[in-house]
């Protein structure tokens, strides 16, 4: 993603990876992931884009290396750094006589660059960080589905480095975007990423907790948070209550922060509750449904499997615990998603995968899990709908309608 956007800014970019299928796709101007606008950038900037499996070759021919590999969670929530370490060994090994800057975009906990990555780079290269080669933290704040738009119109770019040369290089790289650049130390930069995601996740769980209470009062939490959000100290965004958060970042990053804090002997009661509240929402949806229709031996339709619209990503999607809960309660489940069904099939091969959303509406009840635009145009008349994402047409038309927090 970052590479395609940098190419769009006029830079020559070499994508390095092990998966030759993905590299071939990039070279052919095909996006290896579903991300609106990405393919257009790959096609448009083809002549500036090269791909290779050879890290050393890429390091030798470029000024900056961005480490963008995953940091998936271990079972205890802590970050698995093995991919970051492998790449650091290879980059360190390739660091040569001229000045090269290594930029860490992967989400890594405070201290990782200084305690893990720099020692690897120095040992492999026999050189000194900040003197012989540059190193910086430059976390990613892109949202899936709007990543291209977010890159070019971000609220801020964060650059963490003690190295004036790398700082200048990165500041000039991002300066055409004309967005605020926050320059700081490496550790602060690493923490900004985690604190940002943890705060946004907290905001959502807070909205869900208050939203559940609103529901008991028969009031609309969206109206409540529209009023709350007018306070400029608070802001109205990320207050959409409902089924909770999924995706590759919020659950993982909050989990990693909790595990890290535990290591450091710091209590994170708020963050643990953020996860607990999030875990409860799918169960809460099934309870609402059961009030209207005991689900045993009934067919329940699920609209949306992706963790949010405009992506085929199902990682930590709320659809997963929701469907498990429905199956445990004895329901038959029919599902539809515009792009995420293939991914979901790997996890749940035995569900009924509908060929259209209309087919899902033939079920005894319908649960709305992802707010795809297409779901705004369906005919919900006569249906029993439990809505986790606030689809206006369903709200207006369904015979029986329950919003999760409204």
Element (DSSP H or E) covering residue 150: helix 147-152
Whole-angstrom CA distances from 63 to 23, 91, 139 are 21, 12, 19
Q: Which two tokens stand for residue 15?
A: 């994508």
- Of 143-162, which residues contact ligand UDX (CB under 6 A)? 143-144
Stretch that binds ligand UDX, among 2-10, 136-144, 338-346, 348-356 (CB under 6 A): 136-144
CB burial of residue 61 (10 Å; 0-12, 13-18, 19+): exposed
User: In the block, which residue shows the tokens 């698995």?
Assistant: 80
Q: Does 246 bind ligand UDX (CB under 6 A)?
A: yes
- Of 221-240, which residues contact ligand UDX (CB under 6 A)? 238-240
Q: Does 308 bind ligand UDX (CB under 6 A)?
A: yes
Between 141 and 401, whose beta carbon lies closer to ligand UDX? 141
CB burial of residue 292 (10 Å; 0-12, 13-18, 19+): middle
* CA-closest candidate to residue 337, choices 360, 320, 315: 360
Q: Does 38 bind ligand UDX (CB under 6 A)?
A: no
Of 8, 35, 140, 364, the one binding ligand UDX (CB under 6 A) is: 140
Of 41, 121, 192, 249, the one binding ligand UDX (CB under 6 A) is: 249
Pure H helices in 218-268: 221-229, 250-263
Stretch that binds ligand UDX, among 13-21, 48-56, 139-147, 180-188 (CB under 6 A): 139-147
- Least distance from ligand UDX to the Cβ atom of residue 260, Å: 18
Active-site pick, 5, 68, 214, 249: 249
Q: Does 14 bind ligand UDX (CB under 6 A)?
A: no
Q: Does 307 bind ligand UDX (CB under 6 A)?
A: yes
Between 58 and 271, whose beta carbon lies closer to ligand UDX? 271
Whole-angstrom CA distances from 257 to 184, 187, 249, 296 are 20, 14, 12, 39
Instruction: Tell me how crowded residue 233 is: count the other CB atoms within 10 A of its CB.
Output: 4
Dist. CA 192–CA 374, nearest whole Å: 35
- Would residue 5 show up in a list of annotated catalytic residues for this protein? no
Residue pair 395/378 in contact by the 8 Å Cβ criterion: no
Between 29 and 73, whose beta carbon lies closer to ligand UDX? 73
Dist. CA 303–CA 285, nearest whole Å: 14
Stretch that binds ligand UDX, among 97-105, 242-250, 282-290, 348-356 (CB under 6 A): 242-250
Between 292 and 324, whose beta carbon lies closer to ligand UDX? 324
- Least distance from ligand UDX to the Cβ atom of residue 194, Å: 11
Dist. CA 321–CA 347, nearest whole Å: 12
Q: Does 204 bind ligand UDX (CB under 6 A)?
A: yes
- Least distance from ligand UDX to the Cβ atom of residue 212, Å: 13
Dist. CA 72–CA 259, nearest whole Å: 13
The catalytic residue positions are 249
Q: Which residues of the shown chain bind ligand UDX in the complex (CB under 6 A)?
A: 140-144, 197, 200, 204, 238-240, 242, 244-247, 249-250, 307-308
């Amino acid at each position: 993603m970052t590479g395609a956007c940098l190419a769009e800014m006029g830079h020559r970019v070499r994508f390095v990876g092990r998966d030759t299928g993905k590299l071939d796709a990039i070279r052919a101007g095909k996006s290896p992931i579903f991300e609106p606008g990405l393919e257009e950038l790959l096609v448009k900037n083809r002549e500036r884009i090269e791909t290779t499996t050879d890290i050393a070759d890429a390091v030798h021919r470029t000024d900056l290396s961005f480490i963008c590999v995953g940091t998936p969670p271990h079972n205890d929530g802590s970050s698995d750094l093995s991919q970051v370490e492998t790449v650091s060994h290879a980059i360190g090994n390739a660091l040569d006589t001229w000045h090269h800057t290594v930029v860490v975009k992967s989400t890594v906990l405070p201290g990782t660059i200084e305690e893990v990555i720099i020692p690897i780079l120095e040992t492999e290269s026999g050189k000194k960080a900040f003197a012989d080669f540059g190193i910086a933290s430059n976390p990613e704040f892109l949202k899936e589905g709007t990543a291209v738009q977010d890159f070019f119109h971000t609220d801020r770019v964060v650059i963490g480095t003690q190295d004036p040369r790398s700082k200048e290089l990165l500041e000039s790289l991002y300066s055409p975007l004309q967005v605020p650049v926050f320059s700081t130390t490496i550790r602060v930069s690493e923490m900004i990423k985690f604190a940002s995601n943890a705060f946004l996740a907290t905001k959502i769980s807070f909205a869900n907790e208050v939203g559940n209470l609103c529901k008991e009062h028969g009031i609309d939490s969206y109206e409540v948070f529209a009023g709350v959000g007018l306070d400029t100290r608070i802001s109205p965004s990320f207050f959409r209550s409902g089924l909770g958060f999924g995706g590759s970042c919020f659950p993982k990053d909050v989990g990693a922060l909790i595990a890290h804090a535990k290591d450091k002997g710091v209590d994170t009661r708020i963050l643990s509750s953020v996860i607990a509240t999030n875990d409860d929402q799918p169960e809460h949806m099934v309870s609402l449904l059961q009030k209207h229709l005991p689900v045993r031996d009934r067919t329940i339709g699920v609209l949306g499997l992706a963790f949010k619209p405009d992506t085929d990503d199902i990682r930590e999607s709320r659809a997963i615990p929701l469907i498990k809960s429905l199956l445990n309660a004895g329901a038959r489940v029919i599902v539809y998603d515009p792009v995420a069904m293939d991914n979901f099939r790997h996890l749940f091969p035995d569900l009924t995968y509908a060929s259209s959303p209309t087919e899902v509406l033939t079920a005894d009840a319908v649960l709305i899990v992802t707010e795809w635009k297409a779901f705004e145009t369906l005919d919900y008349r006569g249906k029993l709908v439990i809505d986790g994402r606030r689809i206006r047409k369903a709200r207006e038309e369904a015979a029986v309608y329950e919003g999760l927090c409204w």
